[in-house]
């Protein structure tokens, strides 16, 4: 699943900036002009800058002169339907970037190449779980982790100093609550947390050992009514009360970074890119924003977060499986992952590569959380849940006074029903 506010995305990838390559080859050999194999690659809008794309294509084709790469930039809006149609036809591209939580729905159709035998070759033992796990379906690996991004706490250094709060000392939830209480004085909001930020709630649920939905005997059911999830919602309610965030909308309504830019918000939970939006709306806050990982329950473990980002998949109908795999191996390999992380302020796809972003405050805070990141339930039916999103309605119900257990039971039933309809 793509997180839109990613740090360091400095340029849109325009069609005019794409390399001009020879036309795709024909026949089983897949060779284009001059005996080179041309592969078509779909990458998503804003996933990389034009500069990085050009750098990678030049480096890749120099290392693999027998392969010609033709990149086509795709829009996120409607991409699910477009990929589904491509996989069902005979003219699918050779490599597709897809949101990590979309892999299951595409794999279910049989349209993706099983790459399970390549996991060892790709160093899969070190992959971020939040990318690798949703890239698998029914025990087989179809999606190869590409890059990750997740939420961190963005805070006002000046407001923390004024309140006598040391951000580096906030290592646990209890410390976070205590600090936020000190920050929540007068017109100042200790934290701006809208009532329907369900990805943040998901992290608290995972911290408690629960999940949004669970599977047993091949059947999925909603799990917001478990003791673990109820404890997580109780913590969310406690934290949300230390600010003036609306109880009936999410972080986009109104845009939370714009709220912070007005000057009276000490913290918000966002991808680091949210800081760029804050300073764009209020240049006076440049240099005054910092980042730290979402705190966990104990000092030694950061808070669990939803891992957004992308995987790379190879369609079964591709005529160039070997060349496509070579492309995937290069782009997800250590050398290019380090360059991508620095260029785009992403989290690399492996826990062992976290040091690549050590000098980037936002990305390094993300990397800490990404090490214990999760994805939404790995079932094709989950897409139907997000379309209706009973989790948001549940959160608003609790925050406005409804009985938590009854509201959770209703929401769990709604999740179960949605997953069945989606499957």
* Structure confidence at residue 31 (pLDDT): 53
Whether 175 contacts 182, CB under 8 Å: no
Q: What is the pLDDT of residues 177-203, one digit of tens each?
A: 999 999 999 999 999 999 999 999 999
Asked if domains 15-149+308-370 and 152-305+379-422 share a fold, the reply is yes
The stretch 275-281 carries a mean pLDDT of 97
* Structure confidence at residue 11 (pLDDT): 30
What is the percent of the chain where pLDDT is above 70? Answer: 92
At 287 the three-state DSSP class reads: coil
Q: What is the pLDDT of residues 332-344, one digit of tens each?
A: 999 999 999 999 9
Residues shown for the chain: 423
- Going by pLDDT thresholds of 50, 70 and 90, the confidence category of residue 422 is confident
In this structure, which CATH number among 3.40.50.970, 1.10.150.310, 3.40.190.10, 3.30.420.40 belongs to the domain 152-305+379-422? 3.40.190.10
* Structure confidence at residue 14 (pLDDT): 29
Give the side-chain half-sphere CA count within 13 A for 39.
28
Whether 97 contacts 332, CB under 8 Å: no
* Structure confidence at residue 33 (pLDDT): 55
* Structure confidence at residue 17 (pLDDT): 31
The stretch 45-70 carries a mean pLDDT of 96
The answer on pLDDT for 28 being more than 80 is no
What residues contact residue 65 under an 8 Å CB cut-off, 6+ apart? 36
- Going by pLDDT thresholds of 50, 70 and 90, the confidence category of residue 5 is very low
The answer on pLDDT for 29 being more than 50 is no
Q: What is the pLDDT of residues 120-168, one digit of tens each?
A: 999 999 999 999 999 999 999 999 999 999 999 999 999 999 999 999 9
The answer on pLDDT for 296 being more than 70 is yes
Class for the domain spanning 15-149+308-370: alpha beta
* Structure confidence at residue 2 (pLDDT): 44
* Structure confidence at residue 132 (pLDDT): 97
Is the model more confident about 22 or about 249?
249
* Structure confidence at residue 310 (pLDDT): 97
CA distances from 3 to 46, 49, 271 (A): 11, 16, 8
- Going by pLDDT thresholds of 50, 70 and 90, the confidence category of residue 9 is very low
422/339 Cα distance (integer angstroms): 38
Give the side-chain half-sphere CA count within 13 A for 136.
15
* Four-residue CA torsion sign, 270, 100, 202, 346: negative
The answer on pLDDT for 7 being more than 50 is no
Is the model more confident about 90 or about 232?
232
The stretch 354-375 carries a mean pLDDT of 96
The secondary structure of 234-273 as a DSSP string is HHHHHHHTTS---SSS-TBTTBHHHHHHTTTB-EEEE-TH
Mean pLDDT of the chain: 92
The stretch 247-261 carries a mean pLDDT of 97
Closest listed residue to residue 378, CA positions, set 157, 52, 47, 100: 100
Closest listed residue to residue 102, CA positions, set 84, 122, 125: 84
What is the percent of the chain where pLDDT is above 90? Answer: 89
The answer on pLDDT for 6 being more than 60 is no
Q: Give the position of tokens 């996989």.
A: 87
The answer on pLDDT for 35 being more than 90 is no
Q: Give the position of tokens 């919602």.
A: 233
Residue ranges covered by each domain of the chain: 15-149+308-370, 152-305+379-422
- Going by pLDDT thresholds of 50, 70 and 90, the confidence category of residue 423 is low
The stretch 207-212 carries a mean pLDDT of 98
The secondary structure of 339-369 as a DSSP string is HHHHHHTPBPSBGGGGGGGTT-HHHHHHHHH
Residue 110: count other Cβ atoms within 10 Å of its Cβ: 10
């Amino acid at each position: 699943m793509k997180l839109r506010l990613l740090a360091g995305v400095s340029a849109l990838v325009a069609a005019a900036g794409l390399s001009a390559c020879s036309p795709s080859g024909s026949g089983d050999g897949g060779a284009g002009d001059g005996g080179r194999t041309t592969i078509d690659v779909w990458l998503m809008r804003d996933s990389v800058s034009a500069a990085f794309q050009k750098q990678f294509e030049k480096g890749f084709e120099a290392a693999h002169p027998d392969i010609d790469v033709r990149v086509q930039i795709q829009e996120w809006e409607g991409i699910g339907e477009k990929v589904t149609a491509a996989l069902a036809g005979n003219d699918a591209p050779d490599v597709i970037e897809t949101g990590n939580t979309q892999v299951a729905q595409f794999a279910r159709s049989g349209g993706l190449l099983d790459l399970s035998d390549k996991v060892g070759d790709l160093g899969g033992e070190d992959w971020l779980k939040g990318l690798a796990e949703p890239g698998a379906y029914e025990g087989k690996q179809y999606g190869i982790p590409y890059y990750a991004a997740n939420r961190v706490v963005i805070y006002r250094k000046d407001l923390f100093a004024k309140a006598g709060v040391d951000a580096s000392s906030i290592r646990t939830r209890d410390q976070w609550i205590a600090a936020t209480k000190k920050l929540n004085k007068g017109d100042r909001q200790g934290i701006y947390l809208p009532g329907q930020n369900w990805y943040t709630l998901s992290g608290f649920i995972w911290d408690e050992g629960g999940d949004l939905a669970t599977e047993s005997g091949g059947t999925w059911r909603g799990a917001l009514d478990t003791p673990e999830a109820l404890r997580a919602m109780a913590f969310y309610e406690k934290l949300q009360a230390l600010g003036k965030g609306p109880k009936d909308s999410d972080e986009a309504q109104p845009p939370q970074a714009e709220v912070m830019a007005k000057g009276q918000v000490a913290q918000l939970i966002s991808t680091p890119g949210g800081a760029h939006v804050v300073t764009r709306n209020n240049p006076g806050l440049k240099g005054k924003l910092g980042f730290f990982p979402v705190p966990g329950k104990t000092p030694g473990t950061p808070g669990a977060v939803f891992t957004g980002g992308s995987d790379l998949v190879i369609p079964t109908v591709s005529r160039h499986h070997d060349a496509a795999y070579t492309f995937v191996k290069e782009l997800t390999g250590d050398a290019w992952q380090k360059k991508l992380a620095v260029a785009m302020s992403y989290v690399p796809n492996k826990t062992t590569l976290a040091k690549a972003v050590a000098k980037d405050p936002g990305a390094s805070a993300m990397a800490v959380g990404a090490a214990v990141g999760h994805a939404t339930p790995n079932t094709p039916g989950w897409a139907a849940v997000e379309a209706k999103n009973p989790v948001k309605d549940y959160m608003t119900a609790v925050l406005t006074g409804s009985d938590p257990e009854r509201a959770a039971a209703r929401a769990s039933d709604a999740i179960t029903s949605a997953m069945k309809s989606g499957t």
